Amino acid sequence: MLEWGGESIPYLFVSRMRIPAVITIDGPAGAGKSTLGALLAEYLGYLYFDTGVMYRALTLVVLRAGLDLAAEEALETLAAQVHILVVPPTVADGRHYTVLVDDEDVTWAIRDPEIERNVSQVARYPGVRRELIRQQRAIAQGGRVVMVGRDIGTIVMPDAELKLFLETSLDERARRRTDERHSTGTTLPLPVVRADLARRDNLDQHVLYPASDAVILHTDGMTPADELAWVIDYLQRR
């Protein structure tokens, strides 16, 4: 039995569903894409791949190299050179995967506030996106993957058979983020979290729209278990 926050999620008749080889989940920061993506992948026995980690890992390398964030060409070159690998968890510390950059474990380092502050700018450059998207497509080609990001249904895998787009109000996202931080012992006031999410929405706007054939899931008031049940039900009914 799969569990989320003490809630059990019953296994349904997976074998009777025709499951798409690639499922994409897009939506704004804090909408719960990663949580739903990881749950759904575990449920289906699929690979879970969060594309945001690639932009974050590249940002880490850029900052460490002391590169000017405005040096678009240098960033583009780096995107093609740096070796980012996402593998199953190598440490049992709550992570869903391990992120390696040139063999260094950067799984937690890419969650640093400094990365958070700068990643959107790195992700804006078309050349950077082109290179990372090429790598993302190569990963998705293998099939049996739940791929999470902003532009997965629109740009990376437009032919994916199931494209989910999560819509969650800014207030709800801010509340959830604040609660998450409380549970990990780090506290930030709600208005600060809300303002940061609004800032990121604005910076990510260029990729933040659903594919014309995406299924929109409004998640306000839903728990991750509710969302998973909704998706399984959708897969069974379609």
Residue 119 binding ligand DC, by CB under 6 A: yes
Question: DSSP of 23-79, one letter per residue?
Answer: EEEE--TTSSHHHHHHHHHHHHTPEEEETHHHHHHHHHHHHHTT--TT-HHHHHHHH
C-alpha span between 125 and 58 (Å, rounded): 12
**204 vs 226 by CB, closer to ligand DC:** 204
Among 188, 207, 215, 229, the residue binding ligand DC under the rule CB under 6 A is 207
Nearer to ligand DC among residue 7 and residue 167 (C-beta): 167
DSSP 3-state helix, strand, coil percentages of the chain (rounded to 5)?
Answer: 50, 15, 35
Q: Which of 139, 204, 210, 223 binds ligand DC (CB under 6 A)?
A: 204
Looking at the Cβ atoms of 69 and 229, the one nearer to ligand DC is 69
* Of 175, 44, 41, the residue nearest 96 (C-alpha): 41
What is the x/- site pattern for ligand DC, positions 159-178, by CB under 6 A?
A: --------------------
Between 75 and 152, name the residue whose CB sits nearer to ligand DC.
Answer: 152
- Positions touching ligand DC (CB under 6 A) are 29, 51-52, 55-56, 119-120, 123, 149-152, 204, 207
